[in-house]
Amino acid sequence: MVDWYAKNGRPLPWRKTKDPYLVLVSETMLQQTTVASSLPYYERWVERFPDVGSLASADIDEALVYWAGLGYYSRCHRLHEIAKLATFAGWPKGEGWQSLNGIGPYTAAAMASICDGLPFAAVDGNVERVYARVCADPESGSRLKSAAKRWSEANMPKDTPGEWNQAVMELGATICRPRGPKCLECPIQGHCQAFRDSSQGRLPTPKPKPARIDIDMSIHIRVHKMHFGLIKLESNWWKGLWGFPIVEQLDTGPAARLSGSFSHVVTRHRIKFTVWLEALESCSPEFVWVHPIELHKYALPAPFTRAAKLAETKLLETV
């Protein structure tokens, strides 16, 4: 497995280092985000914050600007807090990784194995899928995760635990895929029970999907002389970021004009946003007034960036 990974692993930038800071940045970004989506953010982030000291000394608002669009913004807050702690107390080792706020079992094991060379099994969805098919295990949920951890630990080479963890994850991401697995290219095909009995498509056993929650919200954008009024958001999803007033129901009044609508998904919530634009004769001090071409300097979550573009288009139609 490790030999296969050395020859076939994707040349991702975070795989070229064992620097705890750079590895932690990548692991944090990859939580609930695909490699393809994370890659440009990682490269831009590292260009601005190349080491732990540069992030620790930066203001959180600037860090959020570089995170904007990745979603799950609490990850950025936690990464910033850890950077400040690490510059003061140094990096933990082994089991100490899980003592850091926001570091769960998977990330702690990944850090301990990659950076410290310790035999901790990092189990994500890719590892669970590889294990479930190799051993034809019909379990799901926590039982599958526990079994996959035991399997990984039993097969892990003691001298290359980090490479093993990354190899199994790479195998799951590129060969043992959820749909259309490339079994004929798999280096452990001869050990795979699912391949022998053609049960790849049924494993791992799907977990019940939580019900989707539909929400309707309105974004109310105030504009004064081609400047948009920004506020700091209080929503749990975007707390501390910049955006526009958002309410579930809005009595827009005759001064507000409809700019458009769109849908956005957050976890299992599908939110339908309706965007309203209202021109003000004076600039209220409750807002920070920003021209559209300067909005990139503020950490706006994706739906508010989209709302701003709708509003700007509506404004240009009236010029």
Q: 33 and 42 in contact (C-beta within 8 Å)?
A: no
Is 312 a residue of the active site? no
**What is d(CA 273, CA 243) in angstroms, rounded to the nearest whole number?**
13
**What is d(CA 308, CA 117) in angstroms, rounded to the nearest whole number?**
47
Residue 246's DSSP bridge partners are 219
Torsion over CA of 144, 148, 150 and 156, rounded to 10 degrees?
180
- C-beta pairs of 174-179 under 8 Å, 24+ apart in sequence: 174/8, 174/10, 176/126, 176/129, 176/130, 176/133, 178/129
Other Cβ atoms closer than 10 A to 270:
13
State the burial class of residue 244 (Cβ atoms within 10 Å of its Cβ: 0-12, 13-18, 19+).
Answer: buried
Nearest C-alpha neighbor of 215 from the set 236, 196, 230, 201: 236
User: Which tokens sit at 283?
Assistant: 């600039």
Give how far the C-alpha of residue 259 lies from the chain's centroid of Cα atoms, to the nearest Å: 30
Of 27, 128, 163, 312, which is the active-site residue? Answer: 27
**What is d(CA 171, CA 128) in angstroms, rounded to the nearest whole number?**
11
Hey, which residues are catalytic here? 27
